[in-house]
Structure formats: structure tokens, C-alpha cells
Amino acid sequence: MKPPENDLELIKKLLESYDQKFIGEYLNRVSEGDWCRETINRWLKGKASPRLSHHEYEALRQLLPRPPAHHPNYEFDFVDLFAGIGGIRRGFEAAGGRCVFTSEWNMQAVRTYKANHYAEPDVHVFNDDIRKVTLSDREDASESEITANIHMMVPDHDVLLAGFPCQPFSIAGVSKKNALGQAHGFECKTQGTLFFDVARILEVKRPPAFLLENVKNLKSHDKGRTFKVITEALDELGYWVSDMDANGSDDPRIIDGRNFVPQHRERIVLVGFRRDLGVHKGFTLRNVRKHFPKKTPKLGDILDKDVENKYILTPKLWDYLFNYSIKHKAKGNGFGYGLVREDNVTRTLSARYYKDGSEILIDRGFNPAKDLHSPSNIKNRPRRLTPRECSRLMGYDNVGQSDFRIPVSDTQAYKQFGNSVVVPVFAAVAKLMKPVILKAKSGKQRKRPMRK
């Protein structure tokens, strides 16, 4: 018989993802108990001591994420920085990897992440603010203290994954050092940005490989200075970066999600390997096309047949978006809604989708030949995607699936999917990288990579 403290321990674990109301309602669905938010709240405060039946306990355990199919036979370890809801992780886990460290500061995203991703006991470490690792918010932190803290908090790993935010780099300090004839490296150039934290971990932990993801515009951000500083820093840290000679529309580092899902979503992917390991020869992201699916789903394949009325635009909002589009088209601007049918590819899902859904509106029979306010057009107003459909559009769920757990509100779910990545893109990149990762892992040297 399980001790009563196990019941409360399980409840506390689940409350990292789900709220008290959900757990109470869930328990009432699986048993004939009389559970509610107040009962669970009193239990947490030590004012009540209810017991879970064996059936209830096992039903709650089903809410915990399960280990990947290849557990415990992992082939490489990776860390997941600026993890969001774990899109990049899912790709590398599918390739046989084990996540040993996660860092994500947004607590709503953490709820979704923990609801879906297994944390191996005594192995996986969860961190919120990356600055707690690198001590980059402390001006008094010494180099030895920073190094020791990174080693203490971040487990050894074979691949570093990071979808860091795009920020401009200040050149004021660099210019001053140039004028004084003083040397400066990546620490000076990237100080105060979140890329600095990534670089610091690469410098101290020296994983054989990394993958960095960002918006396509990273290359042109701040007139190209941001991208230049990033790639120079990676080179200085002893890493070879794939496809650095590529430019223009044929750049293989820019990967469009429409090759995998019915969504136009371009992202830049930087892949690098430690130069001293000599494993990178012949690697190019041009070969990721070998892992494109033979057939991509159509938008209609991921849509639900029955959708709640709350996702249909109100007459007032539809009227506003329609006239807003006409107004800006008259001015020669491209602003407007994106009305799509079942055989179309959508625009990019953004984190602002929760506001009005304008970039992806599902057509329900709108007839542009008729007046906007005709009875049929009013009846057939377009609708937003549901969060579950967003999950499929981003590749978290496959066609016909609803397995990815969404423990947050619709507003938070839209923000999270809009900020995330197309999962199968990174599953394909992980497949491409895997042979090189394993080669690097088997021959990696624990010496400090030489800087150029």
C-alpha cells in the first residue's frame, strides 16, 4: 500500500503543469469522488488529509509525461536553452537523444513543457533564468566563479540547443577599446545579450556540437552586425559553423516549415561542430532536403470538423478586419487578413494570434461577390484556428492526433505555439546531424578548443 505522502507528492508534481481546478475535475471524471479546487487547496496547506484511491492515483499518473520510446537507451545527451515549449527538443529526442538540462523563464511555457516532456530522475535539471547559470547579471562575478557555476549547474552534454531571442549588440564598448588599442573578444561584443549566455556555456562546457535557431531576419538584423558578431564569436570559441559561404535565396540555413506542414514559416538554423574534433567535413544543411517528407499534409488534413462557436469571428471583428484590409490595400500596404481554404498554405503563425487571428483565418464559405453583410456572409464568417489545430500546424501533433497536452488557456497556447518552431524541421536537422554527433562523441577531446 502506498504511503499517504506519495499522494500529495504526486499532486504537487502535477500542479507544475495543471491548476487545482483541472485536477479536481479530472479526478471526478475518473472516480465517484467529491473533489474540487478547495479540497486540493486545503490539502496543500495542511488543513485537510484526503487520500487517493489506487484507481485515482494511477489515473493521475497517466497525466505525467512518459519517457521516449528509446528510454533508457539514449545515444547522445543535449541541453535545451530558451526552450519555450520544447519544439527543438522533440526533434532531437526523436533522433535518440536525452535532454539533461532545460532552461526557460516563462512560467506559462514551463507548464506546457513539463506537461509533455519526461524529466529523468537524478539526470535532468530544470532552470528558469539563464543568468542564474552564467551569473551574467552580476558585475562582481569573477571568471573562476562563473566557470565553476556553469560546471555545477549544467551537466556535460554532446549538443547544445538554443532558440535565443534576437537582440542588437552594443558597439560602444568595442569602439572605445578599438580607440585605446585594447583587445576585445566575444565577451565584450555580446555582453548584455542572451546570446552572451549561450556563448559562455559553449566556452565552459565545450560540447561537440550546437544548433541555434532564430528568425530569418537575424541575418539582416541591425544591418547585419548582429549576425556578424554571433558568427565571429562562434569561430572564436573554436567552432566550425555550417554553410557560412551561403548567401541569398539559396541559403540552406534558411529552412521553410512549408516543406513539412501547410505553413510558410522560415527560420535560420545555425549548426556547428568543434573544429578540433575534425568531424565536420562534408556536412551541409543542403542535405536536410533528404529528410523532407514525400507528402506534406494539406491544411484540411489538420482541421477539426466540429469547432466551438467561440472560435468564429464576431460580426464586429470580421467587419473591422475586412475594412482594415481594404483601407491599407488602397494605400499600397500589404496589411490584411489571411483567409485560407483547406488546400492552402497558411501565413506564419505569430505570438499575436490570440488578439484577432487575422494572419490565419479559416474560410467557412465567405463569398466576396456578395456584400459583406449579406445573410450568407454573416452566417459564414471565418474562424480562428483552435489551439489543437495550431499544435498540428506546428507539428507537435501529427494529422489526426491530439496527444500534445495543452494545460494553459487559449491565449497562452496561441502565444506559445506562435513563439515556437515547426517540430519536424528540427527532427530532420537532428537526423542529419546525428551521425556527426555520434562521431564527435566517440572521439571528443576534453581539451580547450583552440581559438583562431
Backbone angles phi, psi at 195, to 5 degrees: -65, -30
Q: Which three cell numbers stand for residue 12?
A: 504537487
Active-site pick, 99, 166, 188, 390: 166
3-class DSSP state of 149: helix
- Could you tell me if 98 and 123 are in contact, meaning their C-beta atoms sit under 8 angstroms apart? yes
Place of cell 498540428: 392
Closest to 201 measured CA to CA, from 233, 227, 242:
233
Cα–Cα distance, 315 to 320 (Å, whole number)? 9
| Side chain identity at residue 142, one-letter code | S
Q: Which helix (H) or strand (E) holds 161?
A: strand 159-162
Closest to 346 measured CA to CA, from 256, 427, 254:
256
Cα–Cα distance, 307 to 394 (Å, whole number)? 19
Q: Which three cell numbers stand for residue 152?
A: 555545477
Annotated catalytic residue 36 = no
Cα–Cα distance, 445 to 165 (Å, whole number)? 31
3-class DSSP state of 70: coil
Q: Could you give the residue ranges of the DSSP H alpha helices within 62-106?
A: 87-94
- Could you tell me if 40 and 20 are in contact, meaning their C-beta atoms sit under 8 angstroms apart? yes
Q: Which helix (H) or strand (E) holds 301?
A: helix 299-302
Closest to 384 measured CA to CA, from 407, 420, 418, 334:
418
Cα–Cα distance, 348 to 262 (Å, whole number)? 10
Residues labelled as active-site residues: 166
